[in-house]
Amino acid sequence: MVDKRDKYIFLLKAILWTYIIMCIIIAGLNYGYASKAPKNVADAINWVWQFYENWIKTIFIIAGSFLTINIIGKSKRTKMRKANLIGLIIAALIVHIIMPLFFHNGDVYFFAMPLPWTTVPLQLLYHNSSFYKSYFPIWGVAGISSVLIFYVLVSIIVFIGTFLYGRRWQCSTICLFNGFASEVFDPVFPLLGKKKHLNQKGIKIFALLRWLFFAISLFLTIWWILFLSGVFLGGNYDAISKIESYKYLAGELLMAMFFWIALTGRGYCYYCPLGTVLGLISKIAGQKITTNNSKCIQCGQCNESCPMSIDIKSAAYYGKDVTDIRCVGCGHCVDACPTKTLSYTTKVLSILKKRDKKSSIMQI
């Protein structure tokens, strides 16, 4: 007899498969065919894409979060994972529902990831760029100004939040590119085959990809900044824009979904350019997993639950802090630890925790 957990897993897999298949089909039409189609057909494709990326995606996030909590809720602590899912639901409602309605712009989610992830906001500042020409007739000066203001606000929120709370703030709580999928659909990764962790060779390959994609993204960012400043470095802005589009479609969107099918939900997180920057900022923020809150029994559940293949178990054996740049702060290891010896913290969180403890003692 099939129990509720199996039903939830089946439904969660069905939602993820639907999201992947429909995303590939609609994105293919929007990015491949729409530019060559008659205007009425192109407008219809764009509307369907916006509706899917905003409303359907948000519904999937809410439904998937409910299913995930019910799948893992009976066997593990879920405090940090629930916080992740609540954050992602709120982020989806704001970015995919409220802001598009407020700005009357279904593409506003393009501006929810700061530099160096995409140079689309920089391209909007140049009136001859293909992106500006495509959207100016639709958005006008006021519309372009509003999405750029939104972009600046998002960037401020992301970077200040990371300085305070570490990489967890973006990568596990408000990221609507890959972070949402890795948290919402975690129990069913990979869709094909058994759950895997990267070996040392795989980790080294992804480390190379991390710095390669970071270098490419940094180059594109610097190129556009200098170009807009009047410094010509060579190359054609349309060609540069197309290179970035290909990078996004092939190396990011399609690869992220491939990893969901064959490897892990966090596959793209290993080499996300924004994640790399936030990982470096998290070092300054003092992000770490402490491993000495109680006695480690070396059960290995922390390693098993870590989606970034970090060896937490070995660090816990010696009571050392985990400060790996790959750590996205998801807290899966913290929730999985049966002896509660693990905890996620930053410099700011440590100060707040000490103040709360001092306040509690004074009240007693």
Angle formed by the axes of helices 57-72 and 4-28, to 10°?
160
- Tell me how far apart the alpha carbons of residues 89 and 111 are, in angstroms, rounded to a whole number: 18
Place 76 in a pLDDT band, splitting at 50, 70 and 90.
Answer: low
pLDDT mean over 38-44: 89
Where in the chain do CATH 3.30.70.20 domains reside?
286-363
Residue 285 has pLDDT above 50, yes or no: yes
Render 107-141 in DSSP notation, one character per residue: TGGGGSS-TTS--HHHHTTSTTSHHHHHHHHHHHH
In CATH, what is the architecture of 286-363?
A: 2-Layer Sandwich (3.30)
Q: How far apart are the first and last CA of the chain?
A: 53
Residue 358 has pLDDT above 70, yes or no: no
The pLDDT assigned to 33 comes to: 85
Query: Taking the alpha carbons of 10, 16, 20, 22 in that order, is the dihedral positive or negative?
Result: positive
The pLDDT assigned to 1 comes to: 44
In one-letter notation, the amino acid at residue 213 is F
- Tell me how far apart the alpha carbons of residues 7 and 195 are, in angstroms, rounded to a whole number: 19
Residue 2 has pLDDT above 80, yes or no: no
Q: For residues 128, 131, 136 and 140, what is the CA-based torsion angle, rounded to 10 degrees?
A: -110
Strands 288-290, 343-345: pairing kind: antiparallel
- Tell me how far apart the alpha carbons of residues 275 and 174 are, in angstroms, rounded to a whole number: 12
The pTM (predicted TM-score) of the whole model is: 0.93
Q: What is the pLDDT of residues 109-161, one digit of tens each?
A: 989 999 999 999 999 999 888 888 888 888 888 889 999 999 999 999 999 99
Q: What's the chain's average pLDDT? A: 92
Q: What is the pLDDT of residues 160-214, one digit of tens each?
A: 999 999 999 999 999 999 999 999 999 999 999 988 889 999 999 999 999 999 9
pLDDT mean over 343-347: 96
The pLDDT assigned to 74 comes to: 61
- Look at residue 343 and give its three-state secondary structure: strand
CA within 13 Å, CB half, 142? 4
The pLDDT assigned to 134 comes to: 81
Q: Give the range among 95-109, 191-205, 349-363 with minimum mean pLDDT.
A: 349-363
47 secondary structure, DSSP code: H
The pLDDT assigned to 359 comes to: 61
CB burial of residue 260 (10 Å; 0-12, 13-18, 19+): buried
The pLDDT assigned to 357 comes to: 67
CB 307 within 8 A of CB 206: no
Render 246-299 in DSSP notation, one character per residue: HIIIIIIIIHHHHHHHHS-TTTGGGT-HHHHHHHHHHHHHT-EEE--SS-----
